[in-house]
Amino acid sequence: MRVRVLGHRTRVLAAAAMAGALALSGCGANEDQNSNNDKSEVEVFSWWTGPGEADGLKAMQADFEKKNPGTKFTNAAIAGGSGTQAKAVLASRLQNNKPPDSFQGHAGAELIDYIKAGQIEPLDDFYDENGLKSVYPKQLLDQITYKGHIYSVPVNIHRSNVLWYNPKILKDAGLDGPPKSIPEFIDALKAVKDKTDKVPLSLGAQWTADHLLENVLLGSLGTDAYNALWEPGADWNTPAVTKALNEFGEIMKYTTLEAASTDWQGAAKAVVDGKAAFNIMGDWAYGYFVGDAPNGLGKKLGEDFDWAPAPGTEGTYMWLSDSFTLPKNAPHRGGALAWLKEVSSKEGQDLFNPKKGSIPARTDADKKLYTGYLKSALDEWTNPNTKLAGSFWHGVTANNKWHTDIDTAVGLFLQNRDVSKLQQGLVNAAKNSGQ
């Protein structure tokens, strides 16, 4: 026994010593390079390693290398959905003052921690020099402006408020079409439950309930009231929010029992497989539905599934966006600026987005490249009458603390199903966010 314990300890020690040696050897490199406007290299940090997104990045890289022959491109992508792992690595690199030249982040409030810590630079001059303020929608620029400055360059747009549904199940339940308001939605869920043996609304792990919550809030409160919730000092303790949360609680009664065991893919797949009637998920689900195996399901829009704006959100685009930043003390600032230029260019965005399955953030994109669902998404995005709302769950309107605290409140609600506690949790989350 004792021998075993000792053996264990030796092994731990060896590992620690090894880690130490690695850390020491890592410290020597890269010191004292005064490399402002160094264009020889660019290290681009992202979490685009999955099918589609990695291809899109590669296409943009090829275009970048053609335009900047003297710049060596290093792809520092780290795998892991929505960047959980990548963000942990990034945090330690930024704290050690060893930033990549440019890193991916959701545009909006998710970047506030980096901004407050002085880790990324404002890009107002960059926007002016490249005439970007006229090619991005004004509402978008307003919503990513923090204290008068813009800190990131959006490359794509995804839509959060999409209701995916199975037309056959809707027919079986005697419904004419997708519900247009939250009360209609609740009636439709009830009809599915009463008249079919299918799941009314499929749901995945806890975060998909957060995603559902933002859609119910938007659908119930309306766009302006939803956007106002994220302003400094906003009041979450209103009867309107209570009503929305009650509706959220009601909707949650029609969800899958095994939700916590599945991620969004499982929940979305239930709709196209004819096991569930509805699912509310962002439009990245579209690429998953229509893509070819093994990464996609090879289903057909209009037959196996269809979509509508989430109930009560017609005419509003609840957006989220991947964007790139300029870290302070970027070792190759010149390379980084050249990369940002690529990312903000029409060609770059038109190369990236059809592959990734999203639409360009710019309004002057080449519409011919976008077909199927993406065509209608782009039409709506570029329509001047469309209102924009920022997705809180996907980093637009809430900073990291607020975001996590809402997630905690929703997680507790999934357990106790107590709407008043949920509201109190949301009030506290807004108060403590420090945003």
Partner 1 sequence: MKTEDEKTTGRLRRSRTWLPGLLLISPSIIAIGLFVYGLIFWNTRVALSGKHDEVSEYGFDKGKNFVDLWDQPSWPGAVENALLFTVVFVGGALLLGAFLAFLMDKGIRGEAAFRTIYLFPMAVSFIATGVVWRWLMNPAPPERAVGLNQLFDKLSLDALANNWWQNQDWGMAAMALPAIWQMSGYVMALYLAGFRGVPEDLREAARVDGASEWQVYRYVVFPQLRPVTLSALIILGHISLKVFDLIMAIAGKQIITYVPAVAAYVEIFDRHDPANGATIATYMLVAVAVLVIPYLVWSVRTERTR
195 vs 346 by CB, closer to partner 1: 195
Q: What would the x/- binding string for partner 1 be over residues 175 to 214, using CB under 8 A?
A: ----------------------x-------xx--------
Residue 270: CB minimum distance to partner 1, A: 8
228 binds partner 1, rule: CB under 8 A: no
Locate 187 and state its tokens. 């009636």
Locate 335 and state its tokens. 């390379």
Applying CB under 8 A, which part among 187-195, 217-225, 389-397, 402-410 lies near partner 1?
402-410
Q: If you write DSSP's letter for every residue of 105-141 in order, what string do you get?
A: EESSGGGHHHHHTT-B---HHHHHHTTGGGTS-HHHH
Which residues have CB under 8 Å from 93's CB, separation 6+? 45, 99, 100
Question: Of the candidates 76, 240, 301, 414, which one interacts with partner 1 according to CB under 8 A?
Answer: 414
312 vs 425 by CB, closer to partner 1: 425
Q: Which residue has the tokens 């002085």?
A: 118
Residue 425: CB minimum distance to partner 1, A: 6
Question: Of the candidates 67, 275, 375, 387, which one interacts with partner 1 according to CB under 8 A?
Answer: 275
- Per the DSSP assignment, residues forming a β-bridge with 422 are none
Could you give the 3-state DSSP secondary structure of residue 200?
strand
Look up residue 130 and give its DSSP letter: T
Which residues have CB under 8 Å from 20's CB, separation 6+? none
116 vs 346 by CB, closer to partner 1: 116
Is the backbone peptide bond immediately before 100 cis, with ω within 30 degrees of 0?
Answer: no
405 binds partner 1, rule: CB under 8 A: yes
Locate 333 and state its tokens. 């600032």
79 vs 228 by CB, closer to partner 1: 79
434 binds partner 1, rule: CB under 8 A: yes
Question: Of the candidates 6, 7, 11, 19, which one interacts with partner 1 according to CB under 8 A?
Answer: 19
Q: Sign of dihedral through CA atoms 247, 234, 153, 43?
A: negative
- Pair 204, 262: CB distance under 8 Å: yes
Question: Of the candidates 256, 325, 391, 423, which one interacts with partner 1 according to CB under 8 A?
Answer: 256
Applying CB under 8 A, which part among 13-21, 156-164, 174-182, 223-231 lies near partner 1?
13-21
13 binds partner 1, rule: CB under 8 A: yes
101 vs 210 by CB, closer to partner 1: 210
Q: Which residue has the tokens 């990131």?
A: 152
237 binds partner 1, rule: CB under 8 A: no
Residue 134: CB minimum distance to partner 1, A: 34
28 vs 69 by CB, closer to partner 1: 28
114 vs 165 by CB, closer to partner 1: 114
Please count the residues of the chain.
435
Question: Of the candidates 76, 77, 91, 369, which one interacts with partner 1 according to CB under 8 A?
Answer: 91
Q: Sign of dihedral through CA atoms 355, 361, 364, 367?
A: positive
The strands making up 102-106's β-sheet, listed across from edge to edge, are 72-75, 41-45, 102-106, 322-325, 152-154
Residue 164: CB minimum distance to partner 1, A: 18
16 vs 62 by CB, closer to partner 1: 16
32 binds partner 1, rule: CB under 8 A: no
Question: Of the candidates 6, 16, 22, 27, which one interacts with partner 1 according to CB under 8 A?
Answer: 16
Angle at alpha carbon of residue 288, lines to 190 and 413, rounded to 5°: 45
- Pair 58, 44: CB distance under 8 Å: no
What do you get for the CA distance between the two ends of the chain, in Å?
54
Q: Which residue has the tokens 């053609």?
A: 66
40 binds partner 1, rule: CB under 8 A: no
What does the alpha-carbon distance between residue 97 and residue 76 come to, in Å, rounded to a whole number? Answer: 17
Q: Which amino acid is at 316?
A: T
201 vs 409 by CB, closer to partner 1: 409
Residue 188: CB minimum distance to partner 1, A: 21
**Residue 321: what are its φ and ψ, rounded to 5°?**
-150, 140
101-120 binders of partner 1 (CB under 8 A): 113, 116-119
- Per the DSSP assignment, residues forming a β-bridge with 359 are 157
Q: Tell me which residues touch partner 1 (CB under 8 A).
A: 1, 5, 13, 16-17, 19-20, 84, 87-88, 91, 95, 113, 116-119, 197, 205-206, 256-258, 260-261, 275, 400-401, 403-405, 407-409, 411-412, 414-415, 425, 434
